[in-house]
Structure 1
């Protein structure tokens, strides 16, 4: 895919007009029209990071025509922050399915239409070594991604309660593993995985 088509299709997926995209980058509408026109000019080096950020890709992917994005993937810079997820025991997530007006958080990876973000509550996924998700972390969850052992996941039990853990496999059985050694590993049992964590960030205020 050419850089011109990548920008044009990415802007349209974001639901932004040429002027809105131009304002977001800090350039004129004419510049955006040049970027999107076959045979037109490409974004200047100073503008490339912001263009890539808006499209949810890296600068390298922007210049090379984009990543290999599967069908249904949406290139966008933000996803809705829908609620909190308990990182200890199972808990109910209010407003679990995104609807209405939500606070949004930025993402740096291509995501699908139903991707959303959750705020971590509790310390069972906090660790002093390796990966750590302290309380207040924002996790970006992809509900349509294939689940593999080792993934960080959102699991839903038979009481419609959710928890955030690492999915591990041992002896043919699946378990939900906390990163904090003070918490026990629990069998997945009849619970099911409803989302895979793609990205996370820490919010301090």
Structure 2
């Protein structure tokens, strides 16, 4: 199995770029490319930019999964259909509540995770904190799970959403429900209170994916 450093060098060779040319094209410092290729730097934030600059698969470069490029198998006249893989930043709950920077520029976060989800707007990952969305039965999202938030997805009742309450500087993770013509933010854990959703609340985005790493 190839190392990350070997894959970065292979990607640069595939693109027929010098370290200096790759640095300019990817928008990073040349010493960073050199450090990555020698294994002295393991910063994953640069990988999506390097993959794009070299024309290779981001998930291949980062995780050594799948082929280097999306080219068809040489033994077949039919190109294999593949889901596009996007890279989204992992941000803090405070940044989410503040609206952070939209759209999120390359290098905005020092951590990125991949998903096949094609977002409608700016999207980001959050790491679930606490057990307010952990349910003893049915739908449940445990602490530590990464959730992908799309800021332009439709926030309809019964969707899991990220919202900003007026009395907190952090975003909150709840289920949007409708009862008696009114909207509420409901935790999946029955031990936590339901919050009314009024004109002082703001929907940051809708949770569209969940990712748990072991």
TM (norm. structure 1) is: 0.62
In 2 relative to 1, CA 186–19 (structure 1 residues): closer, same or farther, beyond 3 Å?
closer
CA distance in 1, matches of 2:181, 2:188: 21
CA distance in 2, matches of 1:96, 1:135: 23
2:52 equivalent to 1:16 = yes
Q: What is the deviation of 1:102?
A: 2.9
In 2 relative to 1, CA 19–146 (structure 1 residues): closer, same or farther, beyond 3 Å?
closer
Q: Which has the larger radius of gyration?
A: 2
In 2 relative to 1, CA 157–95 (structure 1 residues): closer, same or farther, beyond 3 Å?
closer
Q: What is the deviation of 1:202?
A: 1.8
Q: Of the candidates 177, 180, 197, which is equivalent to residue 207 of structure 2?
A: 197
Q: Of the candidates 70, 86, 105, which is equivalent to residue 113 of structure 2?
A: 105
In 2 relative to 1, CA 171–134 (structure 1 residues): closer, same or farther, beyond 3 Å?
same
Aligned length: 152
Which runs of 5 or more structure 2 residues have no equivalent in the other structure? Answer: 1-49
Provide the alpha-carbon RMSD of the alignment. 3.2
CA distance in 1, matches of 2:96, 2:116: 28
Which runs of 5 or more structure 1 residues have no equivalent in the other structure? Answer: 1-13, 57-75, 86-90
CA distance in 2, matches of 1:93, 1:147: 16
SS in 2 for 1:79: strand
CA distance in 2, matches of 1:95, 1:191: 13
SS in 1 for 2:122: coil
Moved over 6 A (4+): none
